[in-house]
Structure 1
């Protein structure tokens, strides 16, 4: 955590940190986030250990899949593929995962998955922007599993609303786990388990806030330091005066199975 550093210095630091991939180690000592109790990455490794063909949707820089594959060894699937929609992340994921025999496909998040019907018996995803349920069901073989950790409703909205102001009720209701579960069932998936948790986050300086909003771009769409300088300065002064800014993330864990053909 930085001490006795100016607003300008901290903002410049947060604006200069590279944002590619999903490595959050830079935040150590500057921000914290409580982790869900279920341990998604380790559990994904267990699922990989029992699969024959697996797909990781919106893999980011491939960090979570890389860890899960390590946990699955030596009983990993014969075929492992991943998709990613942001070019810098796709390049990073390819560099990380290709040596492990994983095929990384650059594919838009909202486009049909570029794979044949019933190609996989396991589909994974950590924090998909929006689950494309009909496509997930299409690429799963009957009896196959979708195992994923989703971002839940009003996640980090204490921070988001500091910059955007109060959000409409329909926005606050988005990403509802029960609603997503209903959509999954409508696409032909059976919900085996669905768990949700609300988790504490702390931002210890404004550099961490700047880097977070640059990295998790959907939180404050179009965020730039210049556009939100007044809100950043006000938050910096609040942290200096009161201590860490507290927000809460929400996560839910999906364990779903594609219904077998009667």
Structure 2
């Protein structure tokens, strides 16, 4: 999300703000709508810029779960070239259409593929596999489609990310849920599948929600945070949070991210 100054929404009503949050389209991973409504610290490693450096050298690259293609589009623009073979996968049909429109002019083929299905590519087809915020890394499939010496370079969501907001709506969650996506566990899974982890870094980053419209849009867009979220189902909690933000200021949460740089042995 952008990192703006807190806005002044005056005395806009709960109903007006919620209606605005509901009306915004959720396709893709463009978070520019949050400008002036929410802010999120960025990881120090600058994933999209670092990805651009990898794309500048790649011969055959695969972007897994590309969303609307925005991050790959930025990285290719920054790199100044598209690898001779460039493919992206995406499982949600609205995002497949959006990514295709954005990436096809850059020479990237977008393939509709469910996130848990085997990857529809030959063994050793790519020297670079990237992904920003995959739902669940398919380590065996990643290793399979990488050529020997190839690289997996990705930014993952870490454990208990934005759980201050999640648990506001769902209540305290058990430790086995809070510890999912832990970088140490993912390192072990990656190594068990046959990757050598070259670098693994983790950071915890501050998020601020400045109005209830931002909360509503965020939970509609990132659907796995509060599964089955609707305004109707959570109206009492939303009203209370609206009043809290109005009286006390921004609702603060923290995201967790980790950077994976791994290699398939030669």
1-structure distance, mates of 2:60, 2:145: 11
Q: Secondary structure at the match of 2:28?
A: coil
Runs of 4+ in 1 over 4 A off after TM superposition: none
Hey, what does 1:140 align to over in structure 2? 146
Output one character per residue of 1:195-240: Cα deviation in whole Å (capped at 9) or x when no partner: 0000000000000000000000010011000001011111101101
Hey, what does 1:16 align to over in structure 2? 23
Unaligned runs of 5+ in 2: 1-6
2-structure distance, mates of 1:171, 1:117: 34
Is 1:151 matched with 2:157? Answer: yes
Alpha-carbon shift at residue 73 of structure 1 (Å): 1.3
Query: Paired residue for 1:42, among 34, 39, 49?
Result: 49
Hey, what does 2:73 align to over in structure 1? 66
Output one character per residue of 1:53-89: Cα deviation in whole Å (capped at 9) or x when no partner: 0000000000000000011114x31010000010000
2-structure distance, mates of 1:231, 1:65: 37
Hey, what does 1:25 align to over in structure 2? 32
Is 1:170 matched with 2:181? Answer: no
2-structure distance, mates of 1:161, 1:130: 21
Aligned length: 259
TM-score normalised by length of structure 1: 0.98
Q: Secondary structure at the match of 2:15?
A: helix
CA RMSD, Structure 1 to Structure 2 (Å): 0.6
Unaligned runs of 5+ in 1: none
TM-score normalised by length of structure 2: 0.97
Hey, what does 1:191 align to over in structure 2? 197
